[in-house]
Amino acid sequence: MHIVHTIEDLRQQLDGFRRPAFVPTMGNLHEGHIALVKEAKPLGDVTVSSIFVNRLQFAPHEDFDSYPRTLDADAQRLEAAGCDVVFAPREKDLYPEPQTFKVHPATDVSDILEGHFRPGFFIGVSTVVMKLFSCVFAGMPSGVAAFGKKDYQQVMVVRRLVQQFALPIEILGGETQRADDGLALSSRNSYLTPEQRQEAVQLSKALRALGDAARAAPGVPDLPALEAQALQALARRGWKPDYLTVRRRTDLLPPTGPLADVPLVVLGAAKVGNTRLIDNLEI
């Protein structure tokens, strides 16, 4: 496995290949990332993973400076998973000058949910994804890029980005990997104290309960009322929830009418202590 830091060195390593399988990450890897690498690897002729903590998607009050950077351990895990090339650029390598050209995704999918509570987040995500795609896939006839479905809205934004720009890239959405108790694996789980880690599973339980209540309600359910009850129940446990909501999988808008035969996803974001966790369940 080769570890490279510059775009020029990356492209030298990819010279001669025609279909990269790419897994972008911010490092501090867990089994969810490794599962993506293993799932993507058979779909390409070279497997690439990037490790880059992207300043553009962090608000000033968020955890950019404290985000764990564990390159050596990450590289060992990626090599064991069969990754061929690790692209670990420094900030000056990926952004040698201020990134004044940015990708602004459509507001209908980027200004709701995560985009509402983290303004500008999806501009930062879309910009770095487009830049990483240009680094990895330049001159390639096709490729595949894998993203975890724990970041459900992000996968939808990236799919639309690829479609709108006619990029020859297949987007693979990998299923959320969970601990034995049901907690979605996340790099930010490392912030949790032992007590918070034990409590953290309540987010996935709240999403399951909300989904069950929505499906069980007769006729057209009063989703705002059910969502408010779910938020209040989590808040009573000491959480600071941003949202718990039932949405259509197709566009992440609230469903209207009866829910039978409508593919739905229940999404949530909440803080336990100072750690903000997100999760979702397709129902």
Q: Catalytic residues, which ones?
A: 33
Three-state SS letters, 195-221 = HHHHHHCHHHHHHHHHHHHHHHCCCCC
d(CA 85, CA 69): 18
- 68 is written with which tokens? 């764990």
- 13 is written with which tokens? 């390593």
Measured N-to-C along each axis, helices 121-137 and 152-164 cross at an angle, to the nearest 10 degrees, of 60
CB count, 10 Å around CB of 227? 20
Distances (CA, A) of 187 to 14, 86, 158: 28, 18, 20
d(CA 157, CA 74): 26
* Amino acid code (one letter) for 79: E
Residue written as token pair 């966790």: 277
d(CA 271, CA 264): 24
Strand partners, 21: 47, 144
Q: Which of 51, 57, 64 is nearest to 1 (CA)?
A: 51
